[in-house]
Structure 1
Amino acid sequence: MTKAMMIAPDHPAEAAPLLRREFTLDPGHGPVDSAILRTSAQGVIEAWVNGIPSSDELLAPGWTSYEWRVRLVEHDVTTAVAERTVVALRLGNGWYRGWLGFTGQRAVYGDERAGYAELEIRFADGHVQRVGTDESWRAGTGEVLADDLYNGETIDARLRDRSWQRPGFDDAQWDAVHAVDVDPGRLVPRTSPPVRRLGERAVERVWTSPSGRTLVDFGQNLVGFVRVRVSGPAGSEIVLRHAEVLEGDELGTRPLRRAEATDRFVLSGGDDVFEPTLTFHGFRYAEVTGWPGELDPEALTAVVVGSDIRPTGTFACSDALLNQLHSNVVWGMKGNFLSVPTDCPQRDERLGWTGDLAVFAPTAAFLGDVEGFLADWLIDAELERQATPLRTVPVVVPNVMKHLETGFPEPGATAVWGDAAVWVPWALWTAYGHEQTLRDAYPLMTAHVRSVEAALAPDGAWDSGFQFGDWLDPDAPADDPGKSKAPAEVVATASAYRSAGLVAGAAAVLGAESDAAEFRALRDRIGVGFRTRYVHDGRVESDSATVYALAIVFGILDDADVQRAGDRLAELVREAGHRISTGFAGTPFILDALTSTGHLDDAYALLLQREVPSWLYPVTMGATTIWERWDSMLPDGSVNPGEMTSFNHYAFGAVADWMHRSIGGIAPLDPGYRRILVAPQPGGGLTWAEASLETPHGRAAVRWDADPELRLRVEVPAGVEAVLRLPGRADETLASGIHHR
């Protein structure tokens, strides 16, 4: 019996370490019934058994709150083992040791990459042989000379030699290894989907820039890397730089800040294939230098990388721009759901900002089966919360901020950002209906709301402490994205009301009646404080679109004020020419606020606006993902001058939730779609729309056509009923099956 341990080379180099162990199967036990390889790392790890990859995963074991848990990845490698067997590992820096955050720091979790492997072999007679990482292993280096998630990877194909992965290789000149002190209790089974290659994109265009650079367009802003097939003189180097946009007809790298996003490939002199699998980039364009001869577009392929989340929801309609907007939302989620839900995938940041996810979770839960992915992230959110000085939800999870020299102290309880602790698990409960997911997140949910309660003024308003407010209000200065029209304390108090109410609902679901009563009372106290302090004669303080949207959708207003607030919101929307006037806090809710108060035409006009700022303005500018700013690219084609400018940020893509429910017509009436609301609300000149969703009970689908009169086709999963609700008609209950109306 062996007990595996984390190991690292005695004399580490900057090149990616290789670790190997060769052994013989225990004799006399018959054939091998099964062989399971379990791996983990401080960093990222790739594994082979007798030269055969243990899986098709990338960047395993992924990013978690390493201080408390590191994922243990398990794969069946039965077909790879033989009488003589080699387990071979390659280690990358990953999030553990690479550059991380936006302050120019690296190795924030530790200086030493280390790998873990245990191969458990079961024989026909029941005998078990285990071979694990220990101090008998040997360490070397290979063709990967440098690797970093932000800066890219350097591969020298002259050093490529696969023989180290197979029996018979002489590793006598390799380095010794040593054990790394890691608490075995930190190694936890993986519950989140792995990162994999999700698809490929061919080159759409190759051209020469004004400065003479060779540029390549893959036609889609994506996350991954470029696979290169090339032949050329040994020792010659090809360099690929990546970016999301062009600026001045050159590669637009300024928004990347410190991230170099550069891969370097040194040729062997033969036919080479390069795949920089220890890094990833957010890009649509690449600049290629050093190519031998004329660049053949077929030599380059963009490999799309992300967490392997099963798609579940679809949407399409008669408006091509809306379809492109929805595609942009899908691609934004695909690129940013990579191991953790990040804000952006390209610059020197790529952090798990809680506010982005708080508003996007309902959209995500329609588009894909994200329950395991987000439930796993919520585990880290609770671990990180417990570690903050005030026991409050941090603004990023995993909370790398505590390791960075940011000048940004932990802010304590925050609205919207901290509310991810409540809004995300509630979105999962609503979408999937699994009580255990809600129960697992319940300590985090209650802790957040109690931390908010402690920050409230005596009258129930939340008017103290740091707040992001209505972040990225389009009227905010480029260098001051938090300067919004909506006062931070109004946004915070409204958000506190919503969170208290949702936690009361969660407590009721879980049978915690005393908690339910406590949080209902807190919700009511906050509501009184909000209405007393911020609502006067039906007007909400600051008289801006965001404050009305939140007050209406969160249900804070007295009945007599709801319609007045909705009417005033519609007036503001019209006064703005149906251009967006909201930021992170207000944008996800404004269409629902308009719709619920009888202003569907204004909701559609806002959605279909093409002038900046609007959802469709980026589409008219060629966007293929959701932008961070409404004007990340200015109408003249230049990039927004703000330092913080990403072209792949999913937060404003939360509008797709309204599109799914109000245009497509699919919404849950009960958690997990045990009952379904079919309530499309045609408008905006659309002549047809369709949506589908793989619910926990099967496929639900709606298709409507409005030319010349409204016709519907509704598909209801087995064992489920739907309520059909159409304008001007009485509700109708639909049984399982296909219905035409």
Structure 2
Amino acid sequence: MNDDTPTTAGTRVREVRVERRTDGAFADTPTPRLSWTVESDVPGWWQAGAEVRLDGGEALRLDTDESRFVPWPFDPLTPHARHTLEVRVTGTDGGTSPWSDPVTVRSVFLADGEWAGRFVGLAGPGPDDDATPGLLRTELDLPGDVARATLYASAHGVYQVEINGQDVDDAVLKPGWTAYQHRLVHEATDVTALLRTGANAVGVRLAGGWWTEKYGFHGAAQTFYGEQPAAAVHLHVELADGTIRVLTTGPDWRGAVAGVVVASGIYAGERVDAGRAVSGWSLPGFDDAAWAPVRVDASDVVPEPAIAEPVRRVGELSVREVITTPSGRTVLDFGQNLVGRLRVRVTGERGQVITLRHAEVLEHGELGVRPLRHAAATDHLVLSGGDDTFEPEFTFHGFRYAEVDGWPGELDLEAARAAVTAVVISSDMRRTGWFESSDERVNRLHENVVQGMRGNFVSLPTDCPQRDERLGWTGDIQVFGPTASYLFDSNAFLASWLRDVAAEQAARGGVCPIVVPFVLPFGSKPAAAWGDAAAVVPTTLLERFADRRALAEQYPSMRAWADVLLDLSGERLLWEGMFQFGDWLDPDAPPDDPAGAKTDPDIVASAYLVRSLQLVTRAAREVGDAAGVERYGDLAERARLAWAAEYTTPSGRIVSDAQTAYALAITFDLVDDATRAVMGDRLAWLVRRAGYRIGTGFVGTPIIQDALTGTGHADVAGRLLLQTGVPSWLYAVTMGATTVWERWDSMLPDGSINPGEMTSFNHYAFGAVADWLHRTVAGLAPDAAGYRRLRVAPVPIAGLDHAVTRFSTPYGLAEAGWVARDGEIVVHTVVPPNASAVVVLPDGSGEFEVGAGRHEWTVPDPRDRSVPPPVTLGSTLGAVADDPEAFATVLAAVEAADTGHTGALRSLKEWTDQRTLEEELVRLPSGAPEQVRTALDDLNARRGAVVAG
């Protein structure tokens, strides 16, 4: 092909990308990988080859059908380089696309040894010896026009840089949180347009952030990293004549305890004084004679280029309602539990203080602050006497409600909407996954998962965004990673965090700690399902993004984790007798003992030993480590057999006869196919016995629906999904939740907050069910790495009339879904160009493959649509539970009886065929059975059922 090659209408290259980030073509390595997507009207379009060119030069032919993470075909890039990149493709149909729009590729790395910025901060702490926010500055004279300039900057703390009075970008909380003692990241921002010939000024706004925060629990938190913040700047300027000028932080900079931020903490909040604004401090010519020389800190860690998108403001919400609480306080409701801070526009007397206190829920009409524990989550705004606009800069809160004190004048709804806006912050990942069904409650559940992820992906994957924690708990992201990888393009985000995982492991002999970055006085010993993130998350990046580079980078840490577990498990190959979180937050665990689960923690730990060995074996195969494949594969099989021998009976029971135990055995392939089927039946029976209520914690919840549908019990999985009683996924929805809760009953039915010391209303772990909604209910799953081949296999569940999901795969937009219509199921899928799909229809049709394009099939509806048999007082409890309408009717009738004993029936755990409804109702006063009988007669009559006798 050459420039005269005829192009094919209807086929074009879209979204050319370099490496992982979605917010620009940033080369963080001299040989970045290339990706592109194709749009084509050609059915079944498949790439035969591609051409790429730099700066409009000679095109290079790539004889590959791959368009995801294609190796860099040019000479390695140099630091500070900028090039334009174009791509065009030829399909197997012989047609060639036009050249793509040019993309500017920027090198964001520095040469080895080039980084020269020293970490500088204020010369002394403030009056309280706490971490002191402040300002740093210097000036730079440039003798000629600027051709290009890049700012490389980082901090021990959080910062923003101004050049000649303007912020260099719109990122917040830079540089984010990494394992600072091992790894720092720097930005690489194009600041060419901000510099000019002659005098220039560079300023830094600085606060402590995560660097100076105190970590720990029960009031015993301690500073982990440092007492005072510092910033490091390396400004590389190329003048029009080719001259290079470099400005770096050093002892010649000056600083002051000045600026509007008086005090700041991640957990405490921020005090902002508009009267302390310093005019012109980041402009040339500012008189800084009163400012002190800076402090210079030693640092052995050289910052590396950030590989993930930064935190940004990603949305805004208006006040939904102004509430006057029973105690007379004013509370603003934003209608959505969010993460961020408030932007306030206000005019009042100089020195007047407005106090903003944040919380996620109301409890009996008042702000529910107990779950915050030792986090004040409070901002103080000091007015200047003029027209002020406030937005705390170096903190964030998890909240839906904000209590306002000290407001000048009346704050009714109209005034509140004009004056106060909730600013949502998150790592700025691109949204990629959507789901919709015929049940609005399920749709709200899915939206709650989306919102919970957005709020907890702030620089790193946190457990919760509101209390005195907000840590990178490894267990949470281990179970949620697949969901996260679908909802947002989180590849860069998770690949960055995994580098911290590897660094923390290297410092601990291969142990992946319970939180990363690790800042706690405990938790450095191995814990199953938490430390296993070292093996699971890299595998997720391979499966969902085809990121083989991330897998290869993490392979040593995966092996290190596996070797730690092998040392612990010994000859028996069983992980026993150690502290474990186990099936954390099993709904039957006492509020003060969240680890008190029904499934024995050794069963969980030894199952995860097998799982990690399986994944390391797979990784060894991917990276070409034949010896690793042999070693870990053999150990995985031996550990699997040891698990089955130790914890299962010949009849297929597990020692812990609990939902999570069976879900582990089924989804981790711990037993043979025959035993798997028996265990699936037992799992379904346990769920039915519980009245189709969930009985799993952090470990079991993400996998129980797969275990049920994978063993032929989609009907049971559907009942579990659509359950609204506590515990269930939809219970929180019925209680008005707008994010996923930490506990199944974080809020009790009477509106009281769970009495446990640990309760969060924004905690994504239980939201891992969304991945099952995408893969199974709507039916769109990866069948090859990165969705190069899709698996379209929807499983329609009773209670839904349709479900559909859309996903922006690495190859383009895919879609799958179904709708029930007149006794039939209409299935459709959209396969993006350069991808294919394996299809399995709901009627059990054999697998077949289709190419790119839109496809549709109609098959008989396999679901049971018969009218249920009549339900009477003589029906068994199991029969009542099997009939959703009858089940709801019975519970409603008992509640209507207002006997004071309703809870006894609602909490019944034995919905079996060995007891009748009549026998159970004898526990209630004499009038209740008759009311239930009447309600059931009405139900039977509506359904046209004939009751004998």
Q: Residue 220 of structure 1 aligns to a residue in which SS? A: strand
Please identify runs of 4+ aligned residues in structure 1 that moved more than 3 A.
none
Alignment partner of 2:150 out of 28, 33, 36: 36
- The Cα of 1:2 is off from its aligned counterpart by 10
Superposed, which structure 2 residues align to 1:52-63 within 5 Å?
52-63=166-177
- The Cα of 1:713 is off from its aligned counterpart by 2.6
Deviations 1:60-116 (A, max 9, x none): 001111111111111111111122111010111110012334354353201121111
- The Cα of 1:509 is off from its aligned counterpart by 1.3
Deviations 1:577-630 (A, max 9, x none): 011101111111100111011100000100110000000000000101110000
2:652 maps to what in 1? 538
1:581 maps to what in 2? 695
Alignment partner of 1:99 out of 198, 207, 214: 214
2:82 maps to what in 1? none
Q: Residue 307 of structure 2 aligns to a residue in which SS? A: coil
1:673 maps to what in 2? 787
1:734 maps to what in 2? 850
Matched letter for residue 73 of structure 1: E
- The Cα of 1:11 is off from its aligned counterpart by 2.3
- The Cα of 1:457 is off from its aligned counterpart by 4.5
Superposed, which structure 2 residues align to 1:100-499 within 5 Å?
100-102=215-217, 103-140=219-256, 141-183=258-300, 185-295=301-411, 296-298=415-417, 299-388=419-508, 390-401=509-520, 404=521, 408=522, 410-411=524-525, 413-499=526-612
Alignment partner of 2:734 out of 604, 620, 627: 620
Deviations 1:422-462 (A, max 9, x none): 11111110001121111011111111111111111533222
Kindly indicate whether the alpha-carbon contact (under 8 Å) linking 1:97 and 1:112 is maintained by their aligned counterparts in 2: yes
Deviations 1:376-400 (A, max 9, x none): 1111111111212x53111100001
Question: In the alignment, does 2:709 pair up with 1:595?
Answer: yes
1:685 maps to what in 2? 799
Further displaced range: 473-482 or 697-706: 697-706
Q: Residue 164 of structure 1 aligns to a residue in which SS? A: coil
Whole-angstrom CA distance in 2 between matches of 1:473 and 1:315: 27
Matched letter for residue 628 of structure 1: E
Matched letter for residue 687 of structure 2: V
Whole-angstrom CA distance in 2 between matches of 1:463 and 1:31: 68
Q: Residue 171 of structure 2 aligns to a residue in which SS? A: coil
1:718 maps to what in 2? 833
2:896 maps to what in 1? none
Q: TM-score, normalised by structure 1?
A: 0.97
2:66 maps to what in 1? none
Whole-angstrom CA distance in 2 between matches of 1:685 and 1:603: 11
Alignment partner of 2:641 out of 488, 508, 528: 528
Whole-angstrom CA distance in 1 between matches of 2:785 and 2:315: 32
Kindly indicate whether the alpha-carbon contact (under 8 Å) linking 2:796 and 2:842 is maintained by their aligned counterparts in 1: no
- The Cα of 1:409 is off from its aligned counterpart by 5.3
Whole-angstrom CA distance in 2 between matches of 1:684 and 1:94: 49
1:572 maps to what in 2? 686
Kindly indicate whether the alpha-carbon contact (under 8 Å) linking 1:461 and 1:493 is maintained by their aligned counterparts in 2: yes
Number of positions where the alignment pairs a residue of Structure 1 with one of Structure 2: 730
Whole-angstrom CA distance in 2 between matches of 1:342 and 1:44: 18
Structure exhibiting the larger radius of gyration computed from Cα positions: 2
Deviations 1:468-511 (A, max 9, x none): 11110000000000011000011111111111111111111111
- The Cα of 1:558 is off from its aligned counterpart by 2.0
Kindly indicate whether the alpha-carbon contact (under 8 Å) linking 1:702 and 1:715 is maintained by their aligned counterparts in 2: yes
Kindly indicate whether the alpha-carbon contact (under 8 Å) linking 2:151 and 2:191 is maintained by their aligned counterparts in 1: yes
2:747 maps to what in 1? 633
Whole-angstrom CA distance in 2 between matches of 1:2 and 1:704: 55
- The Cα of 1:541 is off from its aligned counterpart by 1.0
Question: In the alignment, does 2:136 pair up with 1:22?
Answer: no
Unaligned runs of 5+ in 2: 1-113, 858-949
Q: Residue 519 of structure 1 aligns to a residue in which SS? A: helix
Kindly indicate whether the alpha-carbon contact (under 8 Å) linking 1:2 and 1:131 is maintained by their aligned counterparts in 2: no
Kindly indicate whether the alpha-carbon contact (under 8 Å) linking 2:715 and 2:798 is maintained by their aligned counterparts in 1: yes
Kindly indicate whether the alpha-carbon contact (under 8 Å) linking 2:514 and 2:523 is maintained by their aligned counterparts in 1: no
1:85 maps to what in 2? 200
Whole-angstrom CA distance in 2 between matches of 1:98 and 1:456: 37
- The Cα of 1:418 is off from its aligned counterpart by 0.9
Whole-angstrom CA distance in 2 between matches of 1:459 and 1:169: 71
Kindly indicate whether the alpha-carbon contact (under 8 Å) linking 1:355 and 1:417 is maintained by their aligned counterparts in 2: yes
Q: TM-score, normalised by structure 2?
A: 0.76
Matched letter for residue 478 of structure 1: P
Q: Percent identity?
A: 50
Kindly indicate whether the alpha-carbon contact (under 8 Å) linking 2:512 and 2:524 is maintained by their aligned counterparts in 1: no
Q: Residue 706 of structure 1 aligns to a residue in which SS? A: strand
Matched letter for residue 445 of structure 2: L
Matched letter for residue 398 of structure 1: P
Matched letter for residue 755 of structure 2: P
Kindly indicate whether the alpha-carbon contact (under 8 Å) linking 1:104 and 1:258 is maintained by their aligned counterparts in 2: no
Kindly indicate whether the alpha-carbon contact (under 8 Å) linking 1:457 and 1:463 is maintained by their aligned counterparts in 2: no
Q: Residue 146 of structure 1 aligns to a residue in which SS? A: strand
Question: In the alignment, does 2:723 pair up with 1:609?
Answer: yes
Further displaced range: 721-730 or 481-490: 721-730
Kindly indicate whether the alpha-carbon contact (under 8 Å) linking 1:456 and 1:464 is maintained by their aligned counterparts in 2: no
- The Cα of 1:12 is off from its aligned counterpart by 2.9
Q: Per the alignment, do residues 169 and 106 of structure 1 end up closer, same or farther by CA in structure 2, a change over 3 Å counting?
A: farther
Whole-angstrom CA distance in 1 between matches of 2:139 and 2:542: 48
Whole-angstrom CA distance in 1 between matches of 2:811 and 2:654: 42
Whole-angstrom CA distance in 2 between matches of 1:579 and 1:481: 18
Unaligned runs of 5+ in 1: none
- The Cα of 1:366 is off from its aligned counterpart by 0.7
Whole-angstrom CA distance in 2 between matches of 1:125 and 1:165: 27
Q: Residue 165 of structure 1 aligns to a residue in which SS? A: coil
Q: Residue 36 of structure 1 aligns to a residue in which SS? A: strand
Q: Residue 222 of structure 1 aligns to a residue in which SS? A: strand
Kindly indicate whether the alpha-carbon contact (under 8 Å) linking 1:460 and 1:528 is maintained by their aligned counterparts in 2: no
Whole-angstrom CA distance in 2 between matches of 1:18 and 1:520: 56
Superposed, which structure 2 residues align to 1:651-662 within 5 Å?
651-662=765-776
Deviations 1:222-275 (A, max 9, x none): 100010010111110100000000112110000000000000000011110001
Q: Residue 423 of structure 2 aligns to a residue in which SS? A: strand
Whole-angstrom CA distance in 2 between matches of 1:172 and 1:458: 70
Whole-angstrom CA distance in 2 between matches of 1:480 and 1:506: 36
User: Greater RCO between the two (CA within 8 Å, min separation 6)?
Assistant: 1
Further displaced range: 102-111 or 591-600: 102-111
Whole-angstrom CA distance in 2 between matches of 1:461 and 1:98: 39
